Amino acid sequence: MASRIPVKGLDVDEETRCRHYHSEIDRIAIKFYCCGQYYACFACHQATGCGKPKVWPAGSFDQKAVLCGGCGHELSVTEYLQCQSTCPNCAASFNPGCSLHKHLYFA
């Protein structure tokens, strides 16, 4: 991974894949609003995080909160929600199925 930003979780690889999500296109990490730390996924945060998960409030969607595991580019919540599952910096594909879990991360 091009980023030096640490990503926490279980069995996290260089492109932010983890024990829970490890397909080729599982390459984003989410900065959790509650603790300000990047985790590979919600389950990783549940297992090793602060224990107090909070979603990003709508008023903070301009904040950098998503990390591309392909190039290390940080996206704001808004950029991520509008990127159509493709990194705007390196064009790496993100898993479109992640949108099914956005309620775990964003208000």
| SS3 call for 96 | helix
The per-residue pLDDT for range 33-55, each reduced to its tens digit, is 999 999 999 999 999 999 999 99
pLDDT band at 3 (very low <50, low <70, confident <90, very high): low
Record the pTM: 0.94
Contact between residue 24 and residue 73 where contact means Cβ atoms under 8 Å apart: no
Query: Would you say residue 42 lies in a domain?
Result: yes
The per-residue pLDDT for range 73-85, each reduced to its tens digit, is 999 999 999 999 9
Contact between residue 87 and residue 71 where contact means Cβ atoms under 8 Å apart: yes
Range of the domain at 79: 7-104
The one-letter amino acid at 102: K
Query: Would you say residue 85 lies in a domain?
Result: yes
Q: Where are the alpha helices (DSSP H) in the chain?
A: 42-48, 77-82
Query: Would you say residue 14 lies in a domain?
Result: yes
Query: Would you say residue 61 lies in a domain?
Result: yes
Closest CA to 1 of 60, 58, 72: 72
What is the rounded distance in angstroms from the CA atom of residue 37 to the CA atom of residue 30?
A: 8
Domain count, the chain: 1
Query: Would you say residue 2 lies in a domain?
Result: no
